[in-house]
Amino acid sequence: MINRGLNNLWSIPFHYSEIKNAANLNKELIKVIQQLDNAFNKRKSIQIAGLTEGLTTKWHTYNFLDIENKSIATLKKFIKKEVITYLKKLNHKNSSLLYQSWANRLKDGAVLKRHSHAGPYSYVSGVYFVKTKKTATIYHLPLDTRIPGVEDFCESKIEITNRQGGLVIFPSFIEHNSTPTIKDEERITIAFDILFTPPKD
């Protein structure tokens, strides 16, 4: 378990914080996400992190934190404050920050396979946990220690238990994956990337 604030893991800065009394906020966010999942059912899917269907694969079709909704606005305010705190501790400028965000809804053993959010635009990423039970996220040492032909081998990694109301912020190049979602349970999260400039595509 990591403490609130800036943490140095392999000299890589992670930031963890929690929203106080998050239960009511999360209930409202769950409603919004369930509605989105139903409304986006026919939108085009793009395979990502081992998933070929579901809300996560529609990430490119909308920006969650820009949806007009009271609960989303509350979450966005919290995320923005924590991102600014994170960047200030790293002595980074934080003007004109852009957010790309999406919701993930995993059920019955589904997992997010090992991946990163690294790209030409993203430099900081994060995830907020709306609903989760007995799941964790595994973060991998940022060195290519994989053995050819052996999937997800890494010499060093940390496993952080997911907590409802918790927010983790980390550099976009950090590879990570989720543990399986428990049968008859859901793992609902809101992920985001911080961009310097808007994507050209």
Indicate the SS3 state at residue 152. Answer: coil
Residue positions counted in the chain: 201
pLDDT of amino acid 117: 92
Can you tell me the mean pLDDT for 176-201?
Answer: 88
d(CA 6, CA 128): 16
CA angle 17, 121, 33 (to 5 degrees): 50
pLDDT at 163 over 60: yes
Share of the chain above pLDDT 90, in %: 64
CB 48 within 8 A of CB 111: no
pLDDT at 8 over 60: no
pLDDT of amino acid 65: 96
Q: Which two tokens stand for residue 133?
A: 């039970």
pTM for this structure? 0.87
Instruction: Quick: pLDDT tens for 12-23.
Output: 788 999 998 899
Instruction: Quick: pLDDT tens for 115-156.
Output: 999 888 888 999 999 999 999 999 987 665 555 665 555 457
